[in-house]
Structure 1
Amino acid sequence: MTEHQPELSASDQMIERAVSGEGIQHWLKISAAWLALQEPERLFPTLVSSFAEHLPAVRTVILWLVTTGGLQPVAHAGFTIPSAISEHWLRVRLRPGEGAAGLAWQRETVIQQHGEHGYRELQGIASPQAQTVFQAIGDLLPRSLLVTAIPLRAGHTLVGVLELASNANEPLGIEMADFEVIAGIVAAAIRNAQLYDELRRSHQRLKAFDAVVTSISTAADLPDLVQSVLTVVLELTPAQSGALLIFDPAQERLQVSAWCNIDLTALACFDQVSVDATPCAEVVRYGQPAFRPLLSERGESALIEAGMAAAAYLPLLAGGTVTGVLALFGDIELTKAIDKDMLMPICNQVGFAIANVRLYEDSQHERRKFHTVIESIAEGVLLCDRYGRLTLANQAAHDLLSCATLSFETPLATVPDLYDLRDLDGNALTPDDLPFTRALRGETFYDYRVMRRLPDNSERFFSFSGAPAVNEQGEVEGAVITFRDITATQKVQRAKDEFLAVAAHELRSPLAAVRSYADLLLRREQQREGDHRDLHGLTILSQQVAHMLRLVDNLLDVSRLDAGQFDLQYQQVNLVGLAQQVIDQQRPNAGQRDLLLEAESAELMVTCDAMRIRQVLTNLISNAIKYSPPDSVISVRLRSATLLNNNAPAVLISVSDQGPGIPPEEQERVFQRYYRAPGRRAEGLGLGLYLSREIVQLHGGQIWIESREGQGSTFMVLLPVERMQRSRTERMNRSFELSAEI
Structure 2
Amino acid sequence: MLKTLKGKFLIVYLLLVFILAVVGATSIANIYSLGKSIQGLMTDNYKSINAAGYMLDALEGQNSAALTYINTNKNKGISDFNKNSGYFYQWYNVEASNITEKNEKQFVEDINNSYTAYLTLFSKLQETAINSDNSKVIDFYNNEMYPEYSNLKKLLRDLSILNEKAMFSGKEKVINASEKSMNIVIILSVLSIIGGLTAAWLSLIKFLSPLYALRDNMKALKEGELNKQTKIVSQDEIGELSKEFNDMTKRLMQFEQSTLGKVLAEKNKSLAIVKSISDPIIVMDADYKIVLINDAFEQLFKLEEKNVLNKYFLEVVRNGELYDYIKNIYNSEEDKIEQKIFYFNYNSKDYYYNVLVTRLRETDNKRYGLVVLFQNVTGLKEIEKLKSDFIATVSHEFKTPLTSIMMGASLIGDEAAGGLSNKQQEIVETINEESEKLLNLVNNLLHLSKLESSKSIFNTEVCTIEAIVENSLKSFVSEAKERNISLQYNPIGSSIKVEVDFDKTVWVLNNLISNALKFTEDGDQILIRSFVKQNRVCVSVKDTGKGIPEEYVEKIFDKFVQVRGTEDRGTGLGLSIAKEIVEAQGGEIWCESKLHEGSIFTFTLPLEEEF
Q: TM-score of the superposition, structure 2-length normalised?
A: 0.46
Which structure has the highest helix share of the two? 2
Larger Rg: 2
Q: TM-score, normalised by structure 1?
A: 0.39
More strand by share: 1
Whose RCO is larger (CA < 8 A, sep 6+)?
2
